[in-house]
Amino acid sequence: MYKITLIPGDGIGPEVSKAMRKVVEATGVNIEWDIVEAGEGVMEEFSTPLPQHVIDTIKKNKIAIKGPITTPVGKGFRSVNVTLRQELDLYANLRPVKSFKGIKSRYEDIDLVIVRENTEDLYAGIEHKLGNYGAESIKIITREASEKIAEFAFKYAVDNKRKKVTAIHKANIMKLSDGLFLDVYRNVASKYDVDYDDMIVDAASMNLVMTPEKFDVMVMPNLYGDILSDLCAGLVGGLGIVPGANIGKEYAVFEAVHGSAPQIAGKNMANPTALIQSAVMMLRYLGEYDKAAKIEDSLSKVFLDGKVLTADLGGNATTEEFTNEICRVMENK
């Protein structure tokens, strides 16, 4: 039996978390869910969106999956996601982006992976006011973190038989910070028998839209990874499709890439695919490859059939109906 921490989240988080659990449990995998709450809903009781007991249970279980949690814009508490990554040293953010036949998109056969450094850059949260006329955010890039994420990217490429790694940077302008990241990347690349190159982030943005098939594994500092992974999600049908994993030496936390979408919370219309796909990544991380493939194959069949899809995918199915259809297909496999 696996014991896994589950943080349902807020907004649509509880709905998509419930759907994910149902699909995972339908595979027959034996999981005991350790359910804990985080986010705005626990602020009054604990005076923090991320109580210590939540971190403690992840450290105990070593693995967690979480629904989306709202982060206030321009005020309020810091992102729970960012805090978890830093507290648990989840230095690698892995976001595979893959097309499904049956989902409307301008592109076909997209299959690329974003590897994002997860603990520093502007997300280190070092900010201060400049009198009453401005504010300053400090970008932190270290040799150690750059080396760890580059090694992760190349090892991932080797383990998954990927052909090329591309570093994304802005070293033409930020010559010291991004320059350090690029130098470390090239040093690591020289140790692997994998093709590699690099690209300035603005050029990468254009090329991802024009010729996304040219990319394979992409590795980059924190901010660029956050932005480009959303851009890449747009290539395959939107944020409701793309999964994510935060991986460190000791712990792993899996999560959907999308936000909490409070405007549709409680309406039974959220698309749970991203969190279900995150659970597929989690099962593979646990070594449950057959069960992961069973979910992924069933998802593919539901999308290709096209009869039971949520509104964001052009259908009119509820979250529950979509979830039940995945389970039905799995039962008939």
312 is catalytic: no
Within 10 Å of residue 323's Cβ, how many Cβ atoms?
25
| Catalytic pick among 170, 198, 224, 312 | 170
Q: Which residues, including other chains, have CB under 8 Å from residue 191's CB and lie 6 or more apart?
A: 154
Q: Looking up tokens 């980059």, which residue turns up?
A: 220
| Catalytic pick among 183, 202, 297, 305 | 202
Identity of residue 26 = A
| Catalytic pick among 178, 198, 226, 312 | 226
Q: Residue 328 and residue 333: Cα distance in Å, rounded?
A: 9
Identity of residue 181 = F
226 is catalytic: yes
202 is catalytic: yes
| Catalytic pick among 123, 185, 196, 224 | 123
* Catalytic machinery residues: 123, 170, 202, 226
